[in-house]
Amino acid sequence: MATQLKNLSDFSHTTVPNGGAFKFAIAVAEWNAEITGSLYNGALETLLKHGVSADNILSVAVPGSFELTAAAEILLQKHKDLDGVICLGCVIQGDTKHFDFICDAVANGITQVGIKHAKPVIFGVLTTNDQQQAIDRAGGKHGNKGDEAAITALKMAELAATV
């Protein structure tokens, strides 16, 4: 049966699907571990809070954000029952072009993996000018982007399951 969205409030940020039927992987980068650890804790707590079983959350660590793309691809190839992968990292601007290469590569890479598998692969990577901006977004004054990544995963998994 066709469904219609009635108005913009259908996109309410407060409506988070229950995750009881879903299985997710979280891939987290070890670079800037004090930041990515907070992102990970936020994502994990949010999934559990919204009904995802601890048994249905597969967590892996990768050396740096650049490796998140390969990790997402490996996870989705090896675990066909996953409903999505949450990629968490933190890239802080330095004096060289490394920042730009890593940010571009991981953003484009995980986009391609998601399209290939038709499953949500969530970009939970902070790309900041300095350490303080990262702290502010990993449980600080701008919230925890790990929580937001988990909520996005739940919403997109629901979309994939119901559309």
Site string for ligand DLZ, 20-39 (x = CB under 6 A): ---------x-xx-------
Give the count of beta carbons closer than 10 Å to the beta carbon of residue 78: 10
Q: Which of 109, 116, 133, 148 is nearest to 35 (CA)?
A: 133
DSSP character for 21?
Answer: T
Task: Show contacts with ligand DLZ in window 36-95 (CB under 6 A).
Answer: 63-67, 89-92, 94
CB closer to ligand DLZ out of 80 and 97: 97
Quote the least distance from Cβ 34 to ligand DLZ, whole Å: 12
| Residue 79 bears catalytic tag | no
CB closer to ligand DLZ out of 92 and 160: 92
Q: Is 137 annotated as a binding residue?
A: yes
Quote the least distance from Cβ 37 to ligand DLZ, whole Å: 13
Whole-number Å distance between alpha carbons of 36 and 92: 12
Give the count of beta carbons closer than 10 Å to the beta carbon of residue 136: 16
